[in-house]
Structure 1
Amino acid sequence: MTNPSEGAFMSQTTKPGLILVGSKPTIRYVTACITLFNRGSEVVVLRARGKNINNCLEAIRLLRNGFLKNLRISDIKIGSDEYEMPDGRKKFVSYIEIFLTKG
């Protein structure tokens, strides 16, 4: 199974309007946001974990400064996901979810 944070668009197991930010080039996530807004989504959620949080924030900066001047951040959620490593240890990975609207 591939890492879910690698996808630019939503998979069949995620909710509509959710973009999982991974290590792909930032412009992929910018394009995904623009596409979802153009398809009629009122809210687009960018979700990133761990070292990919910076890529998420950079995508939003590019969107606001270059493509969607009326972009608004309606909500931000942060937290930690707990994972069990193959050796049985538990690992916590930080995540951020940023809710975007046009307005």
Structure 2
Amino acid sequence: MADEMNVANDETRTEEEGRKTNETNIVYIGKKPTMNYVLAVVTQFNNGMNEVSIKARGNSISKAVDVKEIVINKFLTDVKQKDISTASEELTNEDGSKSKVSSINITLMK
């Protein structure tokens, strides 16, 4: 029985590590200063990533575009924009009402 639990724990750990590995090349833009996110993107590329996604919603979209421009024009001139996609996401507010929020996903590649 102990062996079965160890196998289950190993499988869970492997799944969690897989999720972390798959999502390490995503930088979510929020309320921190722009250069924090620029550093995060540059670090991802310096750690061997060939692609990095920059994701943002709502008022942070303009900051995501700024991050992309700073990375490409000032820090990593060999990095190119691969894709930009936009969408609308429906969120439920605290009071139960629903509202739509714009989102952007910018993919950069070496």
| Short-chain TM bin | 0.7 to 0.9
- Equivalent residue number for residue 42 of structure 1: 50
Of Structure 1 and Structure 2, the greater strand share is in 1
**Structure (1 or 2) with the larger CA radius of gyration:** 2
CA RMSD, 1 decimal: 1.8
- Equivalent residue number for residue 68 of structure 2: 60
Q: CA deviation at 1:75?
A: 1.0
The aligned length equals: 92
Q: CA deviation at 1:16?
A: 2.3
Query: Secondary structure of 1:75's partner?
Result: strand
Of Structure 1 and Structure 2, the greater helix share is in 2
- Equivalent residue number for residue 19 of structure 1: 27
- Listed as ranges, the gaps of 5+ residues in structure 2 are 1-19
TM-score using structure 1 length: 0.82
TM-score using structure 2 length: 0.77
Aligned-partner Cα distance in 2 for 1:86–1:24: 24
Confirm or deny: 8 A CA contact 1:21 1:46 kept in the other structure: yes
Query: Secondary structure of 1:55's partner?
Result: helix
Runs of 4 or more, structure 1, over 6 Å off, are none
**What per-residue deviation string (whole Å, max 9, x for no partner) do you get for residues 4-30 of structure 1?**
xxxxxxxx5x71200000111110111
Q: CA deviation at 1:65?
A: 1.5
